[in-house]
Structures are given as structure tokens and as C-alpha cells.
């Protein structure tokens, strides 16, 4: 979810113009809006365009299948939507930006903290990644697993639990994505990132705004970190 609100009007117009009955056309309109938002935020991102494979993935994943029935008519608007239990499916723009920052190659192993609806995991799988995603709210994790199975995303494994500790049995990971906000990057996740790997997470106050942060682990194990963009995510919960 991005703080800039200017995109909402554009998103609403695009949704209205795309024709309610044609998800593919709605997705194409959504992808155009996301690309426009990327251009508008180029100063933050350091680029005015995302990896085209990421936008193609956004154009393929049926976001409407990942949102509750009551939200389906808004599934292709460029904004977060409620998915129950006080949680949200992230704005497509932010899903695209975070995915781009991971710089995935087919076959990469990715850990996601915060399955939510399963949509972000599906996008990662569309890029050829093997995805291990963890959700702390049991009914959400179960619903996401069912949706991912219905949509044939066999490369995604969902587990219910506290993702702060990562998924040691499947580590090391080429990339890690945290889709809930915390005031620090969980050390177990840094440990489970392979040398040369990338981690992206909203870091900052859990209840105000955060900075979308990219952590890179060098081949020598050294860490470098960059804050890119102000964002607002739901907080990381659990025992930490």
C-alpha cells in the first residue's frame, strides 16, 4: 500500500472503463496504471520502469480469485482491499515494486512472511520461483492454500505459523519478502538469506508509516540496506 493517494482516482477510472465482465481487460488496465505509478515514483525507486516480466505476471494472475466475494468488483483497482481478520491484500503497485526489487530468476527459492490472500505468492510463482510462504492467522493461511491450489499454483507451499523464525527446513533462500511491517528485519530471516540474496520489507513504526527497505547480502555475507519508499503495511504480529 502506497501513501500517495493520487493514484486512487486513476485506478477508479480505469476500473470503470475496463468493462466489469472481462477480467483480462481489467488486468491490462490495472497494469497500465501500475506502470504509470512507477513512472510517477521514479525518484524513489531509482527507475521509471519495472522488469517487464513482473508486469506480465500482474497481467496473468486472477486477483479477483484472491479477494473475498464482496470485494471482487474492485479486484482490479490499484489499491489494497480487506481480506478479513483485519488484514489486507496489498496494492498491486506495491506488489509489483516489491517483486521487482527481488530480481528473481526462474528456479529461485523465495520465502514470504505474510501469505494473506496468497496473491503475492502467486505473482512470485508466475516468475518461476519456488515459494515458501507463512501466515500466522490459521483461517487465512488455509484459505490462501485452497485458492492457490484451485488456481494451480503447485510451486507454492503454505504453512501456518510465525514467520519471524523463517522456514529453516527450506533455507537458504535466494530472496525473502516480508509483507507486514516491523521495526527491524528479523535476524533469522537475514540468516536464512543466501549470500548474494535480497530481502525486501517495510521497516519502521508498526502503526504509522514505514520505509520499504531492500537488504542485500553480499557474496562475502556482508549486508547493505537501502530505504526506498514510504509505505503503510499492517503490523507484524506474533511472539516478537
Interaction of residue 68 with ligand SAH, rule CB under 6 A: no
Planar angle of CA 136, 102, 131, nearest 5 degrees: 45
Give the active site residue among 90, 117, 224, 225.
Answer: 90
90 catalytic? Reply is yes
User: What distance in Å separates the CA atoms of residue 152 and residue 143, rounded to the nearest whole number?
Assistant: 14
The x, y and z cell numbers of residue 194, run together, are 543466501
- Between residues 7 and 177, which has the closer beta carbon with respect to ligand SAH? 177
Site for ligand SAH in 82-141 (CB under 6 A): 87-90, 113-114, 116-117, 119-120, 134-137, 140
Instruction: Report long-range pairs for 21-28 (Cβ below 8 Å, ≥24 apart).
Output: 23/62, 23/64, 23/75, 23/76, 24/59, 26/75, 26/76, 27/58, 27/59, 27/60, 27/62, 27/63, 27/76, 28/59
Interface with ligand SAH in residues 162-181 (CB under 6 A): 162-164, 179-180
The answer to whether 234 contacts ligand SAH (rule: CB under 6 A) is: yes
Q: Is 232 in the site for ligand SAH (CB under 6 A)?
A: no
Distances (CA, A) of 37 to 8, 138, 212, 226: 10, 34, 16, 21
Which residues are CB-neighbours of 169 under 8 A, at least 6 positions away? Answer: none
Q: Is 237 in the site for ligand SAH (CB under 6 A)?
A: yes
For residue 26, state whether it binds ligand SAH (rule: CB under 6 A). Answer: no
CB of 43 or CB of 150, closer to ligand SAH: 150
Give 37 or 71: the residue with its C-beta nearer to ligand SAH: 71
Applying CB under 6 A, which residues contact ligand SAH? Answer: 87-90, 113-114, 116-117, 119-120, 134-137, 140, 162-164, 179-180, 234, 236-238
- Catalytic site residues? 90
Amino acid at each position: 500500500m502506497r501513501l500517495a493517494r493520487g493514484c486512487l482516482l486513476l485506478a477508479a477510472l480505469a476500473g470503470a472503463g475496463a468493462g466489469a465482465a472481462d477480467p483480462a481487460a481489467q488486468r491490462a488496465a490495472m497494469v497500465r496504471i501500475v506502470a504509470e505509478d512507477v513512472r510517477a515514483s521514479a525518484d524513489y525507486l531509482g527507475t521509471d520502469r519495472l522488469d517487464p516480466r513482473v508486469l506480465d505476471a500482474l497481467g496473468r494472475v486472477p486477483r479477483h480469485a484472491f479477494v473475498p466475494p464482496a470485494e471482487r468488483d474492485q479486484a482490479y483497482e490499484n489499491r489494497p482491499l480487506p481480506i478479513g481478520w483485519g488484514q489486507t491484500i496489498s496494492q498491486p503497485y506495491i506488489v509489483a515494486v516489491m517483486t521487482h526489487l527481488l530480481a528473481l530468476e526462474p528456479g529461485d527459492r523465495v520465502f514470504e512472511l505474510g501469505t494473506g490472500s496468497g496473491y503475492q505468492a502467486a505473482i512470485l510463482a508466475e516468475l518461476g520461483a519456488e515459494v515458501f510462504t507463512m501466515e500466522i492467522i490459521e483461517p487465512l493461511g488455509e484459505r490462501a492454500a485452497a485458492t492457490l491450489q484451485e488456481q494451480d499454483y503447485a510451486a507454492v507451499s503454505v504453512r501456518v505459523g510465525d514467520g519471524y523464525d523463517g522456514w529453516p527446513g527450506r533455507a537458504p533462500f535466494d530472496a525473502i519478502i516480508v509483507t507486514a511491517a516491523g521495526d527491524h528485519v528479523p535476524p533469522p530471516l537475514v540468516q536464512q538469506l543466501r549470500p548474494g540474496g535480497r530481502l525486501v520489507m517495510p521497516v519502521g513504526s508498526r502503526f504509522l508509516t514505514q520505509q520499504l527497505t531492500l537488504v542485500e547480502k553480499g557474496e562475502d555475507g556482508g549486508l547493505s540496506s537501502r530505504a526506498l519508499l514510504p509505505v503503510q503495511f499492517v503490523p507484524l504480529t506474533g511472539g516478537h
